[in-house]
């Protein structure tokens, strides 16, 4: 489980946060993450929850999801989310 609480992460790296299959991210407060290419990368099903706001800005893609399993998905169960791509960190 990854807890994000009032975080402001901006990196010149290609990836901001990489999440493995089955990960749960709890968002609290105002969280902002930016990266040059893929800000949040999900390898398989990932769940986002919490009461905060997560703003994701990527140079190519804000949220990058990759899996060969059609049953995998990204779930947003609670909180507020803003995702944009095509902008550099």
The DSSP string of 25-73 is EEEESEEEEEESSEEEEEES-EEEEESSEEEEEESSEEEEEE-S-TT--
Half-sphere exposure for 45 (CA within 13 Å, toward CB) = 7
pLDDT tens-digit series, residues 16-48: 999 999 999 999 999 999 999 999 999 999 999
Whole-number Cα distances in Å, 8 to 5, 22, 35, 53: 9, 24, 11, 12
Enter the pTM of the model: 0.86
- Which residues, including other chains, have CB under 8 Å from residue 22's CB and lie 6 or more apart? 44, 45, 46
pLDDT tens-digit series, residues 42-64: 999 999 999 999 999 988 888 88
């Amino acid at each position: 489980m990854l807890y994000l609480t009032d975080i402001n992460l901006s990196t010149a790296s290609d990836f901001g946060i990489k999440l493995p299959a089955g990960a749960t991210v709890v968002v609290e407060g105002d969280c902002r993450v930016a990266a040059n290419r893929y800000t949040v990368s999900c390898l398989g099903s990932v769940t986002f929850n919490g009461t905060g706001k997560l703003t994701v800005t990527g140079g190519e893609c804000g949220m990058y999801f990759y899996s060969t399993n059609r049953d995998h998905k990204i779930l947003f169960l609670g909180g507020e989310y803003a995702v944009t791509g095509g902008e550099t960190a």
